[in-house]
Amino acid sequence: MSTTKIENAQITDTTLGIEGHGIMTAMIGLSGEDWGVGFGGYTFDQWNEAQKRRVGTDYGMEFVMQVLHVVGVDSWEKLKGQHVRVVTEGWGGRALKIGHITKDRWFDPQALADEMCAKVRS
């Protein structure tokens, strides 16, 4: 069982766009002291059979907005170079949450997905 750790990191790279399989997604590259990890990779769209194309989701927009809010910037382009805190699974594990470097503001993409799925079910 992995143990989560909170680490300080710098955002070194960002992508927001359509990846090789045609899926809209985002990835934030994080670099800490002697380590690095990507945060993101979640699907921001879904197939719409009636339109015969992929369409954006509420989850994708909310993901982008929450990242911007937590980091404290007003555009995706301003993320690079920012310092953040990140909850990881430890060496070799995933980045689970991203947080503001000094304020107690966190974004947990799994909690957002769970919340949105619960709304759909009710």
**What average pLDDT does this structure show over 50-57?**
95
Total-model pTM: 0.91
- Residue-by-residue DSSP string for the chain: ----EEEEEEEEEEEEEE-TTS-EEEEEEEEETTEEEEEE----EEEETTTTEEEE-HHHHHHHHHHHHHHT-SSGGG-TT-EEEEEE-STT--EEEEEESSSS-EE-HHHHHHHHHHHHH-
The per-residue pLDDT for 3 is 85
pLDDT at 30 over 90: yes
**pLDDT per position as a tens digit, 70-100:** 999 999 999 999 999 999 998 888 999 999 9
Task: Please provide the average confidence, as pLDDT, over all residues in the chain.
Answer: 93
All structural domains of the chain: 5-121 (2.40.50)
pLDDT at 36 over 60: yes
**What average pLDDT does this structure show over 58-79?**
97
**What average pLDDT does this structure show over 35-60?**
95
The per-residue pLDDT for 118 is 82
pLDDT above 70: percentage of residues in the chain: 96
In order of 6, 17, 64, 77, 82, the CA distances from 14 in angstroms are 21, 10, 12, 8, 11
**pLDDT per position as a tens digit, 103-115:** 999 999 999 998 8
The per-residue pLDDT for 1 is 46
